[in-house]
């Protein structure tokens, strides 16, 4: 069972992202309903049960926060470019939530994830998209700023892969605490 922990983008944010999701050769755009930020990729469980993970995530106590999307970027360079995304402005409350989810995951029995956390919303996967076309697309968008919007929960998703776009199923939703002001 392929799992990940993330934050669903609200409808008005998905609409804004959808509006910039065009005009790039070789791009496979994310289905608007699937737009999200991944906080922790789990993948196939090997050891702990879904219940173990769910219980551990249910024990995460962290305050809500407001999120702003800033700019677009890419993973990979040149002919290795494979993803374009909208950046998430990093902030202490988001990093705090990420760290809490990471320690809950390890407590549940998952292997530690030591990769650097680069908060983003994936917009498209690329296949043989020339670098200059990515640059042109990014330039046509200009200085992207979406939000701020309130994040008051996060979700445990199951991802169903098959033919066509992935199908995400929300297995559990976890409320965040009232934002600290
Ligand atoms: P597809 O793989 O068909 O393009 P998808 O990437 O949307 O679909 P998944 O591969 O199940 O669906 O990924 C779910 C989420 O986890 C996405 O945000 C993806 O970027 C992230 N993800 C997938 N694999 C990894 C990985 N190995 N490390 C970190 N994050 C990952
Ligand atoms: Mg994938």
Domain total for the chain? 1
Question: What pLDDT, on the 0 to 100 scale, is given for residue 172?
Answer: 98
What is the pLDDT at residue 59? 98
DSSP 108: T
Assigned domain for 163 exists: yes
Q: In this structure, is residue 180 part of a structural domain?
A: no
pLDDT digits (tens, 9 = 90+) for 131-160: 999 999 999 999 999 999 999 999 999 999
Q: How far is Cα of residue 174 from the mean position of the Cα atoms in its chain?
A: 16
Provide the terminal-to-terminal Cα distance of the chain, rounded to the nearest Å: 39
Task: Tell me the best of 1, 21, 41 to mutate to test the pocket of ligand 1, counting ligand atoms within 8 Å of each CB and taking the most.
Answer: 41
Which structural domain, as residue segments, surrounds residue 155? Answer: 2-175
Q: What is the pLDDT of residue 79?
A: 87
Encoding tokens for residue 170?
A: 């929300």
Q: How would residue 179 be classed by pLDDT, with cut points 50, 70 and 90?
A: confident
d(CA 59, CA 174): 9
- Taking only the tens place, the pLDDT of each residue in 6-31 is 999 999 999 999 999 999 999 999 99
Q: Is residue 32 part of a domain?
A: yes
For residues 45 and 151, the answer to whether their CB atoms sit within 8 Å is no
Question: Is 181 contained in some domain?
Answer: no
Residues with CB under 6 A from ligand 1: 2, 4, 38, 41, 122, 125, 159, 161, 166
Classify residue 19: in a domain, yes or no: yes
CA–CA distance, 90 with 28 (Å, rounded to integer): 26
Give, using CA atoms, the residue closest to atom 26 of ligand 1: 41
pTM as predicted = 0.96
- pLDDT tens figures, 71-121: 999 999 988 999 999 999 999 999 999 999 999 999 999 999 999 999 999
35 domain residue, yes or no: yes
pLDDT in tens, 25-70: 999 999 999 999 999 999 999 899 999 999 999 999 999 999 999 9
Instruction: Give the mutation target among 1, 3, 4 for probing the ligand 1 site: most ligand atoms within 8 A of CB.
Output: 4
State which of 166, 169, 170, 171 you would mutate to test the pocket of ligand 1, scoring each by most atoms of that ligand within 8 A of its C-beta: 166
Cα(181) to centroid(ligand 1), Å: 34
CATH of the domain at 65: 3.90.1140.10
- Asked if residue 111 is part of any domain, the answer here is yes
Could you tell me the distance, in angstroms and rounded to a whole number, from the CA of residue 146 to the centre of ligand 1?
A: 23
Give a yes or no: residue 169 inside a domain.
Answer: yes
């Amino acid at each position: 069972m392929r799992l990940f922990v993330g934050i669903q983008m609200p409808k008005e944010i998905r609409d804004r992202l959808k509006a910039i999701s065009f005009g790039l050769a070789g791009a496979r755009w994310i289905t608007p309903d699937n737009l999200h930020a991944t906080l922790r990729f789990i993948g196939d469980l090997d050891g702990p049960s879904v219940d173990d993970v769910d219980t551990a995530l249910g024990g995460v106590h962290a305050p809500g926060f407001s999120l702003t999307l800033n700019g677009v970027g890419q993973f990979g360079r040149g002919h290795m470019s494979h993803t374009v995304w909208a950046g998430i402005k990093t902030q202490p409350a988001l990093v705090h939530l990420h760290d809490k989810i990471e320690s809950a995951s390890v407590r549940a029995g998952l292997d530690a994830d030591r990769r650097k956390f680069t908060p983003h919303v994936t917009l498209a996967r690329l296949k043989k998209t020339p670098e200059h076309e990515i640059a042109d697309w990014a330039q046509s968008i200009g200085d992207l700023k979406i939000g701020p919007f309130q994040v008051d929960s996060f979700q445990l998703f199951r991802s169903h892969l098959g033919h066509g776009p992935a199908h995400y199923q929300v297995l559990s939703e976890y409320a965040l605490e009232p934002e600290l002001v």
